[in-house]
Amino acid sequence: MKTVLTAARLFTPTDSIELPLVTIEDGHIAALASREHAELPSNARHTDFPGMVLVPGFIDIHIHGGAGHDVMEAESSTLAAIETAMARTGVTSYLPTTVTASEDRLLRALDHLGRAVAKNESHKNGAVPLGIHLEGPFISHAKRGVHPPENLVQPSPHLLDKFWQASGGGIRMMTIAPEIPGAVATINHAKQLGVACSLGHSDATYQEAVQGIAAGATHATHTFNAMRAFDHREPGILGAVLTEKGITADIIADGVHVAPAALQLFLMAKGPERAILITDAISATGMPDGRYRLGTLDVDVKGDRCEHQGKLAGSVLTLDRAVRNVMSFTAWELQQVIRMATLNPARLLGIASQRGTLAPGRIADIVVLTPQGQVVQTIIAGSGSV
């Protein structure tokens, strides 16, 4: 049976439709029009959201957990709990993100997550895992953050292949420091595998970062955090990330990891086409203050701060809050900010023909928002509303 949604506005997100009429059939958008030029189908189930805004489902490319669970837990109920919690915040698809651990632990996690990705579906009412984001172990000791130093290793095509095979080909994105030995060759190999390479946890000079981009890196991980500080004579990795037009970059807009002024600088540099919002959320997301896990680490959470031995260790940010924070910290409108959580990550992952936009033929992942960006309802593949 066809389903028809109506609301006050719709952001595709590159275009806006007043009084939209969205027809959904078999989990996809069958038609998109304005009620000024189209009538409601007589044989469809109709749901109206007066005063609300319809936008594409959010895509979180960097999330470690939530609802008290970590994605590296090899339990069937773990991802279901995390995915349900994400859907309540507008996230309809995501990349479960690993953290540096022993090789055995990492291989087990990749196997578990790869199997979930291979199903290419979620349980009812939950966000869909699109692939795995491998964050570590190919990162810099100097900018490792809380990643365990004893488990960091030099990258190589051979080791990447080992991880790739363990995941069943499920690795979709990889964070890597371009300056460490073996990084350039590994970035080039990852590109051949179809893995999006993201520069991060890096002490790279400007030239080393540019070499990583030339080798095939197309993105940057949590800009400003775990990166060499900018200097006007040696701008370092930040200089490359902010000025290279060929790469996108993401940021944690929680007001803790990055000050509002730095967020504004980032947006001025990358613009609405190349900026992406992430959460870097850990198991504590949606939970009360206390002690939680990030991979093998104990993390103390109080308010919006997550710390391991005094260092920031992920966040409790949700993507809907990130959208509202950007609107609050800057003069950007909802439509501009929505693009950073929908179309831009979809393009990075090469799935913009399926997700990230609202158009005929696309998967019907839709979020109903108030004009202020509060989530009213999340629709995943045309059903499973939360």
* The token pair that represents 193 in the structure block: 């595998």
- Given the residues 250, 254, 280, 320, the one annotated as active site: 280
**233 Cβ contact partners less than 8 Å away, ≥ 6 residues apart:** none
Can you tell me the distance from the alpha carbon of 113 to that of 172, in angstroms, rounded to the nearest whole number?
Answer: 12
* The token pair that represents 161 in the structure block: 């292949």
For residue 159, the SS3 value is: helix
Judged by phi (left if over 0) then psi (alpha if -120 to 50, else beta), residue 216 lies in left
Can you tell me the distance from the alpha carbon of 344 to that of 325, in angstroms, rounded to the nearest whole number?
Answer: 18
Bridge-based pairing of strands 275-278 and 249-252 is parallel
Tokens 């002690």 appear where?
A: 291
Known active-site residue 300: no
Residue 262: other Cβ atoms inside 10 A: 14
Q: Which residues on adjacent β-strands are paired with residue 331?
A: none
Orientation angle between helical segments 206-215 and 183-193, nearest 10 degrees: 30
Backbone torsions φ then ψ of 271, nearest 5 degrees: 70, 175
Contact present, 32 and 17 (Cβ < 8 Å): yes
- Please report the DSSP string for 193-246 in residue order: HTPEEEE-SB---HHHHHHHHHHT--EESSTTTTBPPP-SSS-HHHHHHHH-TT
Nearest to 12 by CA among 353, 363, 364, 359: 359
Task: Show which residues are catalytic.
Answer: 280
